[in-house]
Amino acid sequence: MDQIILNQMQFYGYHGLLPEENKLGQRFYVDAELYVDLKKAGRSDNMNDSISYAIVYDRVKRIVEGKAMNLIEAVAETIAEDLLASFDLLQACSIQVTKPDAPIPGHLQSVAVKIYREKEHG
């Protein structure tokens, strides 16, 4: 299946279980892999046959920078549900939400969740 990929979209949000995360906020990175048949767009060279990267970015930004959630799992699920409902051409998506500054005692580059969701049929 063809894909549109938006890598390392960067946002500032207030997600987390700790009160300081909800008050001070922190950086979040989102990767979105959108599974869509791009053959028609490739042949027509017409944006109506694809999915706008700018619109995807804006929808993800609204979620990540919006209402605080406890878990990045919930952030990823909300993004996937929103994108699948918003684009008729989108058949499935893989969403990764990365929290580079997670308040974990110890040394690590980041924590992340990655989910894969398909459009429900019927």
Q: Which sequence positions are flagged as catalytic?
A: 99
As a whole number of angstroms, the longest Cα–Cα distance in the chain is 53
Pairing of strands 111-118, 92-99: antiparallel
Cα separation, 79 vs 64, in Å, equals 8
Name the token pair of 89.
């051409």
Cα separation, 100 vs 82, in Å, equals 24
Cα separation, 78 vs 75, in Å, equals 5
